[in-house]
Structure 1
Amino acid sequence: MTLVLLAGALAGVGVYVVVLMFDHGTGTPAAELARLDSARMRNQRTATLTADRRHQTESMRVRKVGATLATFLEARGLPVPAGIRSDLAVMGRSVETHLGMSVLASLAGLVAPFVMLAPVVAFWGTSFVVPLWLAVVGALGGGALATLQLASEAKDRRRDFRHVVSAFLDLVSMNLAGGRGVPEALASASELSDGWAMVRIRDTMESARLQGVTPWAALGDLGREMAVDELRDMAAALALVAEDGAKVRASLSARAASMRQRELADAESRAGQRSQSMLIAQLLLCVGFLLFLIYPAISEIAGF
């Protein structure tokens, strides 16, 4: 019975692969619009310079697998969610690379149960049903694990980026107070650090200069791409300075101070959570030590 189920599953997979080879999508207007919109998002003007640095270390084979999967999804009107795209933008990865890594993780989760349980099945003749179910769970878990790991890493990286944005706001405010214009203030502020976040801001403004786009518009697009509202708000405030001559130097300083207060509160909250986790670990150690002390007396009374 198990062999029949495996043969049926393999036959189903083969039929599905054949269908995918000859199926080029539904061709509906919605699917084509989704494909064009995704292509436009991948070729945004703010990513001209940073894309080369971002993708130069990515494996071409992984990207090829991810590109095939991305084309397959876009042709059916199933684009990658915006949250995952913003996390990828923060991490400096492409959608194709993430999809390729997710496929590899799913394959690893699919194969791992068979590899680990192969000796048990070979020597004790256990049924293949348990490894088969574990393989399905492993494949789903492997794909989900790649996305969860991306979200966790992007959260930490986005926090660091917000910290840099607060310092960038202060620097821009000081340059504006010194009598510089908005483009000169932005360029001068971005040259004072070689960290990844400041390099990202500097590359974005350089790309905007080459493309004939205002730097605050490019920074606003970067904030929307990375889901960093503080950078987008700063770009809107700078646009008011350049277009209407508004005096927002004090506003930029206030925004920077507000961001620092928020970061301080967030740091205190994380420190409190870690203190609680350490307290729980200490309580568990105390419970284990007490069990170690009272076990001889209990075993003597119970007679075992």
Structure 2
Amino acid sequence: MSDQLSGNPAAGPSSRERVPYEPITQRRPFVLPDGARVAVWTIVNIENWLPQNPMPRTVLPPPMGQPLLPDVPNWCWHEYGMRVGFWRFLEVLRSRNLRATLALNGTACTEYPAACRAALDAGWEFMGHGLVQKPMHRVEDQADAIRQTVEAIRAFTGKPPRGWESPGLTETAETIDLLAEAGIEYVADWVLDDQPVPIRTRSGEMVSVPYTVEINDVVMSAIQQQPSDEIFRRGRDQFDQLYKEGATIPRVMAISIHPYLTGVPHRIKYLEALYDHILSHPGVAMCTGEEILDIYKAQGATRQAN
């Protein structure tokens, strides 16, 4: 079957057509550099929450259950992350000689230029994360929003992003096609494997680099409201299992963090503990998303048309 798809853009092909089922034990081998067992990549998410709009997430329910705008306490909850929490991330990663992938709303380049500049100076990869923090289903013109995001990152960094993570991992039936047409090479939205896998689009092939909804502080801290040390406990257990399996079939582990969640004082030491646990093991490749993409592509592991 060809890696290109056609059909009604509004309906689009099914997800199963885009990513045919292929067990991890029955595919072409994926190999990491120097025989590494696990590739670990960190995704730092910075977002533009519009003060005049309802907040994407909340830490405080509205008084008497009635939504109120502007939502000052919940907007400030997020804003703390950009003023304080982000800089804790920067130091945690810098002190361990680690680089992250910065998933950012395109408008964050102008709303939070100091944070973006610090990430650029630290050598982080920049990945598109929508124009503002809004589900793709609520974006009136997805193609234009993707174009504006790519151009904002290109203008700030000097090169367009190669990767994309949709706000809330949301995609309509045609989002993946629009991303491919905009030059995006990999996505983090399709959380369905421990290795990179190809996704068929109407203009060629996209790659899914394994992201995470489990080692993700939105899920742990904002939704499940787990204790402060959950990112360490769950992250350690995730890594240990992937490291054991990686002796025969290499894996990818993502760590997704947000400055307003893991960047707060009572959680940051547990992120440090997780990195120190991971770094105490040989055979680990600390990567960015685009580095994992390049490893995958260099092996010729992408699916070719029959």
Smaller-chain TM-score range?
under 0.3
TM, length-normalised to structure 1: 0.22
Q: Which has the higher strand share?
A: 2
CA radius of gyration, larger in: 1
Structure of higher RCO (CA pairs closer than 8 Å, 6+ residues apart): 2
